[in-house]
Amino acid sequence: MSAKIPPEQIPSCYHCGDPCEEPIVEEGKSFCCQGCRQVYALLQENGLCTYYDFDKNPGIKARGKFLHERFAYLDDETVIAKLAQFRSEQLIHIHFSLPQMHCASCIYLLENLHRINPGVIRSRADFQKKQVFISFNPQQVTLREVVELLAFIGYEPQISLKDVSAAKSPDINRRKLFHLGVAGFSFANIMMLSFPEYFSGGYITEHGLKEVFAWVIFGLSLPVLFYASASIFESAWKGLRQKDINIDVPIALAIVITFGRSYYEIFTGSGAGYLDSGTGIIFFMLVGRWFQGKTHDALSFDRDYQSYFPLGVTVIRNNREENIPATRLEVGERIIVRNGEMIPSDAILLEGNAMVDYSFVSGENIPVACNVGDLLYAGGRQVGGAIQLKVSKEVSQSYITQLWNNDVFTKDQEKLTSFIHPWSRYFTIALFTVAISAAIYWWLHEPAMIWPVVTSVLIVACPCSLLLSATFTFGNMLRHFGRQKMYLKNEKVVEALAAVDTIVFDKTGTITLSDRHQVIYAGQVLTETDKRMVRSLAGQSAHTLSRFLFQSLHANETDTIPVLSQYQELSGKGIRALVDEVPVRLGSADFIPAGDNTGTDAKGARVYVQIGNQPKGYFEIRQQYRPGMEAMAADLIKMGYQVTVLSGDHDAERSSLEKIFGKSANMQFEASPQDKLAYIKNLQADGRKVLMIGDGLNDAGALKQADAGIAVTDHAARFTPASDVIMDGGSVFKLSRFLKYARSGKTIISISFIVSILYNIVGLSFAVQGLLSPLVAAILMPASSISIIILVSLLGNYMARWKGLYKN
Amino acid sequence: MSALFVLIGISILVAGGFLLAFLWSVGNGQYDDDYTPSVRMLFDQEKNTAAKNETENIQVTTPTTK
């Protein structure tokens, strides 16, 4: 090991942009590691260096050559059959999910795979879904080779049984667009053909014109009634079958009456009908649904542990390594877990230096050192060399995964009924009251008017504007939330968020940062020289704790750089080297023989220091809270929410948590995943509406049980347990504003309901008098729809700003 | 005025043509992904020439990077 370049001069890797501590220079370009250089060499060989032109340092840090057996399970016939969408002798079609896709360069590279491996026939990237479609010739290249190529260039596909079984089809979205297109076409043409009727006041002099137009309109309206409005009738029918009058029931009724009466008028030649307004309303409602349905394709809200656990596991059977599907793993078997691989089930460590990163489970990403004989939990990731384990529980019965055996995950409960629901019921009742009163009035005065009056009442008072205001308000709010990196599963979640009165936080990874830590030193005072020595030693190691230590000790430009020699890293223990000829050790307490190992009240991981032959003290690496938590917590309490913190850790952080949430906040420590779930259930039994915010698999039960569950992640495309909302870690401090905005949704809808009721009163006043001409309907109905859409959009945008969604 | 009947017929035919074009494009998957094609079009030229060169087995000259 030679001298090091100070960080100010450290070049960034040409491939991935990471600082290169020991740059490998080739063709005037520096690379941080062999892995990145190899990827560059591969791309260069195939003339794909345009990859580096679209974005600066677009690459994904390569982890070097992966271990040979890692993807062996992809040679398995049953696995191929499950993964492939189409399969023949010559051709296999397959979709992969690649959450690493992040820029134009990625698309370029992924669509040019055929130039690296001619066995690949075609590859197509879908950036928003973070998917790539690949077709390849299985006689030239195997599935395993394709996946290995992807993994090598940095895009290791997420392959899991869950994703395999449920490949999303684009058909639903296409169907919506088909309906929309047909409805729009018919609406526009019927409107045009109705103009003579509007301007002549019903007395067209030209012989035959009226009849021809009426029949053309009739023809154009048929596809709308029988095709485009199918989704409305389906939803209404579903509601009726469950003995429930949802908002689609009165709408379906209004459609039937509008079309029925219009067809009657056309057949008898007594009028022109209301097909223009009828088709118009259907068109507007379809637009609203399409707008609302534009959800976040790349995110998956319904994942369970199967989506994250590896497909294949390496077991030792008869002294031979074998790759089997994780589901077939049996208790008592010996398995091998290599660097970066996940432990598939609870198991006992037999040999090897285990450093387990449980960030997946708890959000805490400082690896835990384990000794032989320790029980390692499923979901942890091994950092360092290969380890051998003895399986002590089946995959589905492990500490974390048995959470999914709970009822919460088997029942698909309908979480709440929408608050527009009661409105639509009142509306329906009021409407029938008006219709019946009008009928009684006309029965007394002029019985011939009963039929036209009742039908026109039902036509004009269609609750479409109620539906429109709800769909557009929520659709607009989802967009605003999305811009702030809070991704809601659907519009119902807005109402759920508005209704909560209790908020439960997970601690680690949710209100603390998962990638940054506070480093505190305790012990004998370190001189500047000491610090420099520690820093340069720590800089040599790739261990997480060394990285944190290295980052926390700042270097000055004028500093001389210490010279290192005889560097040694003892896995699971620590590192040592001669720094400027002085022996320096960094590591765990037992690595520093003469060290003071007292003080068991550790609040975090400790790194002990020895310089020369003298133990100096230790660095304590603590979790760091996300910025802005105090202000957010104060705001939440002011808004009247009951706040609770649940933590899987011991209560060492109690005092700092009290500083944030106040002394009155409830706190519970050492909570197991089951405890968290039970805690939420208890709150709900007390009639509380609970919002749970968590991040790891250990919060999965609580997130699912809560009335609204928010999964926090620092990489939106990566791991999140099943939840209603996926939120970027950087937006957590805006939680109180998000909740305020969600609450304002109700106000917006109420305002637009009042406006739509005013329109209805005007319309009904024409209708009950028997004066509803097609012209009045044709003006009133689109005008009310459009003005309501504009109103809710403006209000939604205004509220987003007013509630501070865009303030930082 | 009978010209009106002909014109109406033509106008509906034209509109129907556009409707069919729209339905075809949806069915063809052109609305499935509304972002990637906007990026993909930037690659086209380079890709075409490269593909041609490859078939003729000519060494591709890669553009010099920044």
Q: Is the dihedral of CA A595, A600, A601, A603 positive or negative?
A: positive
Fold (topology level) of A73-165 = Alpha-Beta Plaits (3.30.70)
Q: Considering only A14-18, A230-234, A678-682, B14-18, which range has the smallest mean pLDDT? A: A14-18
**Cβ within 8 Å of residue A505, ≥6 positions away:** A511, A643, A644, A645, A646, A693, A694
Q: Which CATH architecture has domain A485-511+626-741?
A: 3-Layer(aba) Sandwich (3.40)
Output the DSSP codes for A1-44.
------GGGPPBPTTT--B-SS-EEETTEEESSHHHHHHHHHHH
Q: Are A667 and A396 in contact (CB under 8 A)?
A: no
| Dist. CA A708–CA A688, nearest whole Å | 12
Best of B40, B57, B66 to disrupt the A interface (most A CBs within 10 Å) is B40
pLDDT per residue as tens digits for the range A652-669: 778 888 888 888 788 888
- Bridge partners of residue A609, in order along the sequence: A586, A617
| Residue with token string 């259907």 | A282
The model's pTM: 0.76
Confidence of residue B59 (pLDDT cuts 50, 70, 90): very low
CATH for the stretch A312-405: 2.70.150.10
pLDDT per residue as tens digits for the range A709-725: 898 887 655 667 778 88
Q: Are A323 and A307 in contact (CB under 8 A)?
A: no
Q: Considering only A36-50, A306-320, A450-464, A550-564, which range has the smallest mean pLDDT? A: A550-564
CATH for the stretch A514-625: 3.40.1110.10
Nearest-by-Cβ selection for A128 from B26, B29, B35:
B35
| 3-state SS, residue A698 | helix
Nearest-by-Cβ selection for A170 from B4, B11, B32:
B32
| Residue with token string 């905005």 | A741
What does the CA dihedral A625, A627, A628, A633 come to, rounded to 10 degrees?
A: -10
Closest C-alpha among A532, A566, A564 to residue A4: A564
Which runs of consecutive H residues, i.e. helices, occur in A613-727?
Answer: 629-638, 654-661, 673-685, 700-705
A222: contact with B, CB 8 A cutoff? no
pLDDT per residue as tens digits for the range A394-435: 877 777 777 777 666 665 555 455 666 677 778 778 888 888
CB contact under 8 A, B8 and A126: no
- Bridge partners of residue A728, in order along the sequence: A713
- What residue of B is the nearest CA neighbor of A124? B36
DSSP conformational letter for B60: P
CB contact under 8 A, B42 and A52: no
Name residue A394's amino acid.
Answer: E
pLDDT at residue A524 in the model: 80
pLDDT per residue as tens digits for the range A107-148: 888 888 888 888 899 888 888 777 888 999 988 888 888 888
Q: Which residues of B touch A13 (CB under 8 A)?
A: none
Give the percent of chain A with pLDDT over 70.
86
Confidence of residue A737 (pLDDT cuts 50, 70, 90): very high
Q: Are A111 and A124 in contact (CB under 8 A)?
A: yes
Q: Which residues of B touch A125 (CB under 8 A)?
A: 36
Is there a domain that residue B64 lies in? no
Residue that wins the pLDDT comparison between A619 and A413: A619
Name residue A325's amino acid.
Answer: P
Closest C-alpha among A388, A328, A336 to residue A67: A336
A185: contact with B, CB 8 A cutoff? yes
pLDDT per residue as tens digits for the range A668-712: 888 888 888 889 999 999 989 999 998 877 888 888 888 888 988
Q: Which residues of A touch B1 (CB under 8 A)?
A: 206, 209
Nearest-by-Cβ selection for A185 from B15, B35, B47:
B15
Q: Which residues of A touch B43 (CB under 8 A)?
A: 50, 107-108, 111
Q: Which residues of B touch A118 (CB under 8 A)?
A: none
Query: Closest approach of chain A CAs to the CA of B27, in angstroms?
Result: 7
Q: Are A675 and A668 in contact (CB under 8 A)?
A: yes
pLDDT per residue as tens digits for the range A773-782: 777 777 887 7
Q: Which residues of B touch A191 (CB under 8 A)?
A: none
Q: Which residues of A touch B13 (CB under 8 A)?
A: none
Confidence of residue B49 (pLDDT cuts 50, 70, 90): very low
Q: Which residues of A touch B26 (CB under 8 A)?
A: 174, 177-178, 181
CB contact under 8 A, A50 and B43: yes
Q: What angle do CA A355, A356, A360 make, to 5 degrees?
A: 155
Which range marks the domain in which residue B9 is found? 2-49
Residue A236 has pLDDT above 70, yes or no: yes
Confidence of residue B56 (pLDDT cuts 50, 70, 90): very low
A216: contact with B, CB 8 A cutoff? yes
Q: Are A312 and A326 in contact (CB under 8 A)?
A: yes
Question: What total of structural domains would you count in chain B?
Answer: 1
Q: What angle do CA A639, A645, A650 make, to 5 degrees?
A: 160
B45: buried, middle or exposed (CB in 10 Å: 19+, 13-18, 0-12)? exposed
| Dist. CA A527–CA A505, nearest whole Å | 41
DSSP conformational letter for A402: G
Best of B33, B38, B56 to disrupt the A interface (most A CBs within 10 Å) is B33
Report in angstroms the alpha-carbon separations of A102 from A68, A124, A717, B38, B44: 27, 15, 10, 15, 20
pLDDT at residue A779 in the model: 80
Residue A628 has pLDDT above 50, yes or no: yes
